[in-house]
Each structure stands twice: as structure tokens, then as C-alpha cells.
Amino acid sequence: MLPASIRENLTKEYPLTEEQIRFYDTHRYIKLKQVFTEETIALFNRIISERVSRMNRVVSPVSERDTYGKAFLQLFNLWREDPLIRELVFSKRLGKIAAELMQVGGVKIYHDQALFKEAGGGITPWHADQFYWPLDTDKTVTAWIPLQKTGLDMGPLAFCAGSHQVVEGRELAIGDESEKKIAERLRVTDYPRIETPFDLGEISFHSGWIFHRAGANTTSEMRKVMTIIYMDKDMRLKQPENQNQVNDWETWCPGAQVDEIIDTPLNPLVYPVNP
């Protein structure tokens, strides 16, 4: 059972200003400080770390993996594995932030994932998440939740602000090619690259089409991050455009039908709680 103080932190409203909502609408990312308390982060650091340790099946050394494998250990839908992690993923505080940033009436879960970048782990190449998603609008947002204070030497998430307007590069899966080609494309635009540390309790939110990456973890500690991908509660499934989107359809919204609102047991409504 969660302590009352942490439960309150997960449910109490985090007030956004009109300026913050406009900033997100323009740049398609935002970093918000003090979303969670030190107590909340410490608890979920422990719980999520334990769950990742149980679920992880990667045993090969970092040096023997490809670029994607070096980027992070990746575990999915922890909300289905642990009731306390479910409390975080279903947080009304986070769900309301996501809905207000996207300016929609409510949000469902697409899926969650833990992204643990090991000591010595490599870069996360430039990419846009929505390349993988069979979703018919860009009303998606990912909450990127560091489970520790994250300096530049740990590889925090970096954004190219406003790059959701750049179409070239959207067709690329994450990897060496996306890192090279997207970096070249962004270099000749006026969109600024934002790479700053994360304070404890600070969280970023970014849309599905903004280009982003992360540096290598040059420290001796694991960079632990929990992410939650939200979508508009009225999101419809689109006809997949690549095999990755077919795989995501089958994995994250099985049984959903093309051109219909996604409404499966794996995509629960998290905000509003009582529509």
C-alpha cells in the first residue's frame, strides 16, 4: 500500500499556466519541475528497479550489442506486473497534465516502458516515436520520468524544439541511420536543440513527432527512467504504414479495429477518472 503522502502526490492537481500550454503547443515538449516529491521518486526508483531486475533477460555485455541495444534496457507495460507501479501509471496528476498539454478531454494509456541506460551505455539515436505507432492523429504525449537526478553525463533526454514540423526523417526507425540522417536534416533548420539536466522530481513531456535523442551514460551508475505514453481518449487506429506499426497494433492495442476508437483492456482511460 502506498503511503498517504505519496498517494496525495500522485493525485493532487499540478496546475499548468496558459503560458506553459502555449509553450508545449509551439515546441511540442516541455520540462516541468517538482512534479513529484523526493519521497515519491525514491519509492518508485526502488519498486521499478526491482521489477526491471526480475523482468530483464538481456545478459550480453554492452560492448557486444548494436546501437539500439547499447542505448538502454527496455521493459514494457510494468503497470500490468505490479500494483504499485500501476498507481504511478494511472496517476491522475500525470493524466491531467497530459490532457491539458494536448488540449483534449481525456487520455488513455498506449503503453508504458522502463528505459534503463546502463553505466557505459551508448547514445539513444535521433528519432520520432510516432514512426512506430498506428495512431491517426498526433495527439500523443510521453511522460519521461527520471528516477534520480540526471546530469548531462547520464544521458538525459534532448529535444529539437519545434521539429514536429519537419517531415523528413519520420520514415526512419531508431538506429545508426536515423542518428546520421536526422542530425544532418536538423542541422540546416532553425529549430534549437535543448539538452539540459533533470532535477529530482522534474519530468518532461513530448509529442510523438518531435525529434529527440539522449547522450551516452558516462557515469558508473544506471540511468533509470520510467515513461508513460498517453493518447487522446478518442484516438482511432489507422491503417499501419510499416511493419513496426503492425507489431504495435498487435502488441499494445490487440483487437482494435482500423478507423475505430481504440478501446481495449490494454488501453484504459486514466483521465478523467469518471467521465
Q: Which of the two residues, 1 and 154, has the higher pLDDT score?
A: 154
**What tens digit of pLDDT does each residue of 30-72 get?**
999 999 999 999 999 999 999 999 999 887 888 778 887 767 7
**Alpha-carbon gap, residue 232 to 246, rounded angstroms:** 20
CA–CA separation, 64 and 57 (whole Å): 15
Distance CA 35, CA 61 (A): 35
Question: Measured between alpha carbons, how far is 70 from 90 in angstroms, rounded to an integer?
Answer: 30
E strand spans, 72-211: 73-76, 107-117, 124-127, 140-146, 157-160, 193-194, 203-207
- pLDDT at position 114 is 97
What confidence tier does 274 reach under pLDDT thresholds 50, 70, 90? Answer: low
User: How do beta strands 223-232 and 140-146 pair?
Assistant: antiparallel
Confidence of residue 1 (pLDDT cuts 50, 70, 90): confident
Cα separation, 71 vs 214, whole angstroms: 9
How would residue 196 be classed by pLDDT, with cut points 50, 70 and 90? very high
pLDDT in tens, 146-181: 999 999 999 999 999 999 999 999 999 999 999 999
Taking the CA atoms of 181, 187, 193 and 197 in sequence, report the sign of the dihedral they define.
Answer: positive
Q: Is the pLDDT of residue 186 over 90?
A: yes
Per DSSP, the three-state class of 230 is strand
Under a CB-based contact definition with an 8 Å cutoff, are residues 232 and 148 in contact? no
Q: Measured in Å, how far apart are the chain's first and last C-alpha atoms?
A: 26
The confidence score (pLDDT) of residue 22 equals: 98
> Which whole number is the average pLDDT over 112-120?
96
> pLDDT, tens digit, for every residue of 72-84?
799 999 999 999 9
- Whole-prediction pTM: 0.96
Mean pLDDT score across all residues of the chain: 96
Taking residues 213-225, report their average pLDDT.
97
Model confidence at 275, pLDDT cuts 50, 70, 90, reads low
Q: What is the pLDDT of residue 193?
A: 96
Q: By percentage, how much of the chain surpasses pLDDT 70?
A: 99
Across 103-126, average pLDDT = 96
Please name each of the domains of the chain with its CATH number: 13-252 (2.60.120.620)
What is the model's pLDDT at position 53? 94
